[in-house]
Amino acid sequence: MMKRLLLLLLLLAPLVHAADESGRGMAFEVYIRLEHGMTEGDLVLRAGKPDHQSKDNVREGLKSYYYYPTTANPYLTTITLRSGRIVNIERVRRRP
């Protein structure tokens, strides 16, 4: 019985993980409080963990955080950081 339960959990784990990656988005109230020059720590503290993160240029310290659109907030928000500070904030509405 215990082996069956363990097998079932192992089979369902990828489904739960995929559902978790659907995107949390960023509320407008959070977006309007972001500022150029804000630290990466402050960004994560206010907006939470990004839905996706990429390192654009390691030598220059460029990194981008992506907050995916949701049904409640249909905007893709992209935050670009250089050396741990916000240098660009972009918010684009998702097409229906």
Can you tell me the distance from the alpha carbon of 64 to that of 60, in angstroms, rounded to the nearest whole number? 12
Handedness of CA 92, 80, 63, 34 (dihedral sign): negative
What's the confidence (pLDDT) of residue 58?
Answer: 85
What's the confidence (pLDDT) of residue 19?
Answer: 42
What's the confidence (pLDDT) of residue 82?
Answer: 96
* φ, ψ of residue 39 in degrees (nearest 5): -75, 160
What's the confidence (pLDDT) of residue 22?
Answer: 65
What's the confidence (pLDDT) of residue 38?
Answer: 97
For tokens 């990828």, the residue is: 14
Q: Is residue 73 within 8 Å of residue 27, measured between CB atoms?
A: yes
Kindly state the percentage of the chain with pLDDT values over 90.
64
- Name the token pair of 21: 């990656």
Can you tell me the distance from the alpha carbon of 66 to that of 91, in angstroms, rounded to the nearest whole number? 10
What's the confidence (pLDDT) of residue 21?
Answer: 53
What's the confidence (pLDDT) of residue 2?
Answer: 53
| Cα 42–Cα 46–Cα 48 angle in degrees, nearest 5 | 105
With a cut of 70, which residues of the chain have pLDDT below it? 1-22, 96
What's the confidence (pLDDT) of residue 3?
Answer: 55
